[in-house]
Amino acid sequence: MDVELRDIHKTFGAVRANIGINLKVPAGTIQGILGENGAGKSTLMKILSGFIRADCGEILLDGKQVIINSPADAIRYGVGMLHQDPLDFPPMRIIDNFILGQSGGMFFNRAAATRDLKKLADEFGFQLDPNAFIDTLTVGERQQLEILRLLWLGASVLIFDEPTTGISATQKQKLFAALEILAGQGKTDMSEADQTAVSQWAANVHARIREAAARANLPPEATAKCSAASGA
């Protein structure tokens, strides 16, 4: 799925996190989003995935403008985000976490879900026991489960929040291999990280977001267009 962000603005009080960000990511590519801490990477990705609403700007998926107000909206449009600390429930089993987000909730056909989980896991070479508890997994294995869950929910765009943090070298290799498989399937992989982390794999394109501090010195006119558009 092609992704395009146009003139994205987001402020938090006096802090200008994103000022006029434009970004295009073709389908079937791996995109590294670079920038120092505080540069606005996370804000931009959370806007795309529905965790934060932009003050103004446009999101286009496959050339069509969409309105994303929540993570549920995002997944309906095929956009899912995998956080640095996966959003799972440690006291629950893998299969219980896997079916979270489905319309049937915990009453979803567990036998069918288990078959789908195993099929997806085999496709990526992940070894996950559906009946194991989340609190027995490593961070890398929890990450693998979240990738499978998002794909099962229909994600065509996967956003990774510093995915190499806290995982072993072996799990990093599995992650990189999974990214390549996803790109080969036409999925769009976007990962926010610093330069060192991104350089560890062959991202097709690197997009750099400048330091927020530099943008904070922009004149008021820089956000006038956004204020007018939002009715401020």
pTM over 0.75: yes
Instruction: Choose among 179, 134, 161: nearest CA to 33.
Output: 161
pLDDT value at position 167? 83
Which of 118, 126, 89, 122 minimizes the C-alpha distance to 106?
89
Q: Which amino acid is residue 214, in one-letter code?
A: A
Distance CA 136, CA 129 (A): 11
| pLDDT above 60: residue 21 | yes
In terms of C-beta density within 10 A (0-12 exposed, 13-18 middle, 19 or more buried), how is residue 225 classed? middle
pLDDT above 80 (res 4)? yes
What span, in angstroms and rounded, lies between the C-alpha atoms of 180 and 200? 13
Q: Which residues form the domain of 113?
A: 3-230
Residue 112 CB-density burial (10 A; 0-12 exposed, 13-18 middle, 19+ buried): exposed
**Residue 226 banded pLDDT, cuts 50, 70, 90:** low
Q: What is the average per-residue pLDDT within 84-93?
A: 88
Q: How many domains does the chain have?
A: 1
Measured from the Cβ of residue 102, the count of other Cβ atoms closer than 10 Å reads: 15
Residue 51, classed as helix, strand or coil, is coil
Helix 139-152 vs helix 169-184: angle between axes, to the nearest 10 degrees? 20
What CATH number does the domain containing 165 carry? 3.40.50.300
Banded pLDDT at 71 (limits 50, 70, 90): very high
